[in-house]
Amino acid sequence: MGAIEKDLASKDSLSTLVRYENVTKRFGDIEVLKGVDLDIKPGEKVALIGPSGSGKTTIIRMLMTLEKPTSGVISMGGEPLWHKKSSSGKLVPADEKHLRRMRSDIGMVFQHFNLFPHMSILRNVTEAPIHVLGLSKEEARERAVDMLEKVGLGDKLDAYPEQLSGGQKQRVAIARAVVMRPKVMLFDEVTSALDPELVGEVLEVIKDLAKETDMAMILVTHEMDFARDVADRIVFLHDGQIEEQGTPQEVLENPSSERLQAFLSRFLRN
Ligand SMILES: Nc1ncnc2c1ncn2[C@@H]1O[C@H](COP(=O)(O)OP(=O)(O)OP(=O)(O)O)[C@@H](O)[C@H]1O
Ligand SMILES: [Mg+2]
């Protein structure tokens, strides 16, 4: 590689936070991801849409290190997630220590919030900053209160999860993930288990966060209006492959593939 190419390559790694390169995933005989290439820039907000079973959750679970790719490479800040470089420069499978270090840049909110039921809301949010980041109790409390205020729960610090609505619990789960200041936040259909009247408040909180944060976000969603508002880019997944991607305007107003057109028309009919 010449000096110029090297320079370009290093600039490229600065402008890319997360990179999937020809990533496949098999479960037994079924290939659920068939060679995914996807780059996410620092701070970029990407909505992932597609039919049920197209592989959306699998894509983000692999980044969360919950699921291992069958082949291909996922990297984060230029460093492979599931591999590390051996002393001879070859990529070898990563050990738990490497995964743990890489994971600290990644936060996730699931469909089901899984709060610690025996801890107050405040403690739910301070636990990881204290025990994982090693912050003092005071620092952790300050950060947590700040986050809980941002998600509209500044008056619920001493409440317990069972005293909150589903929407409030999901907002605690968001605060608990964001308080760790990851470089990328993953949201997997975080409103799909909520009663319809609670969906709006949670989407609003995520939209506000997206506007004011420099964290990148990958948001799996079936809410097209939300995707339009929150995302810089929408990626349409079909049958384990990226079928089409572009700005919300391009993807939602002017879809070129027939599959995307059919997918979107199902939403418009509902
Ligand atoms: N642990 C697993 N074992 C076997 N098959 C799996 C496993 N996890 C996912 N799959 C299969 O992989 C495919 C993709 O699943 P995935 O959960 O990624 O889809 P999705 O796009 O998130 O769908 P949905 O919109 O319903 O959440 C599906 O056919 C699913 O049945
Ligand atoms: Mg899913």
Q: Where are the domains of the chain?
A: 3-269
- Cβ(170) – ligand 1 distance below 6 Å: no
Which of 26, 57, 243 to mutate to test ligand 1, by most ligand atoms within 8 A of the CB atom?
Answer: 57
Give CA separation, 210 vs 89, 146, 183, 263, 269, in Å.
38, 16, 13, 26, 29
In the DSSP assignment, the letter for residue 170 is H
What pLDDT sits at residue 113? 76
Tell how far CA 226 is from the center of its chain.
Answer: 15
Ligand located closest to 48 CA: 1
- pLDDT-based confidence at residue 164 (cuts at 50, 70, 90): very high
CA angle 190, 194, 197 (to 5 degrees): 120
- Cβ(56) – ligand 1 distance below 6 Å: yes
Residue-wise pLDDT for 52-109, tens only, equals 999 999 999 999 999 999 999 999 999 999 888 888 888 888 889 999 889 999 999 9
- Cβ(93) – ligand 1 distance below 6 Å: no
User: In DSSP terms, which residues pair with 30 in a beta bridge?
Assistant: 27
Q: From ligand 2's centre to the CA of 33, what distance in Å?
A: 13
- pLDDT-based confidence at residue 25 (cuts at 50, 70, 90): very high
Pair 148, 121: CB distance under 8 Å: yes
Q: Is the pLDDT of residue 44 over 80?
A: yes
State how far the Cα of 210 lies from the Cα of 190, in Å rounded to an integer: 15
Mean pLDDT of 236-255: 97
Question: What is this structure's pTM?
Answer: 0.91
Least confident of 22-31, 160-169, 190-199: 190-199
Ligand located closest to 51 CA: 1
Pair 75, 102: CB distance under 8 Å: no
Indicate which atom in ligand 1 lies nearest the CA of residue 61.
18
Mean pLDDT of 145-168: 96
Ligand located closest to 49 CA: 1
Task: Give me the amino acid identity at 125.
Answer: V
What pLDDT sits at residue 12? 52
Q: Encoding tokens for residue 168? A: 């409030």
- Using CA positions, which residue lies closest to atom 24 of ligand 1? 52
What pLDDT sits at residue 270? 56
- Mean pLDDT, the chain, integer: 92
DSSP assignment of 85-152 equals: E-TTS-EEE--HHHHHHHHTTEEEE-SS----TTS-HHHHHHHHHHHTS---HHHHHHHHHHHHHHTT
Least confident of 4-18, 111-125, 189-203: 4-18
- Percent over 70 (pLDDT), the chain: 94
Q: Is the pLDDT of residue 149 over 60?
A: yes
Q: Encoding tokens for residue 257? A: 């593939």
Cβ partners under 8 Å of residue 57, min gap 6: 188, 220
- Cβ(87) – ligand 1 distance below 6 Å: no
- Cβ(221) – ligand 1 distance below 6 Å: no
Which of 56, 68, 112, 263 to mutate to test ligand 1, by most ligand atoms within 8 A of the CB atom?
Answer: 56
Q: Radius of gyration of the chain from Cα atoms?
A: 19
DSSP assignment of 11-39 equals: HHHHH-SEEEEEEEEEETTEEEEEEEEEE
What pLDDT sits at residue 228? 95
Closest CA to 47 of 229, 172, 211: 229
Pair 222, 189: CB distance under 8 Å: yes
Of the options 3.40.50.300, 3.90.1300.10, 3.40.50.2300, 1.10.645.10, the CATH number for the domain spanning 3-269: 3.40.50.300
Residue 237, classified by CB atoms within 10 Å of its CB into exposed (0-12), middle (13-18) or buried (19+), is: buried
Mean pLDDT of 207-233: 95
What pLDDT sits at residue 14? 62
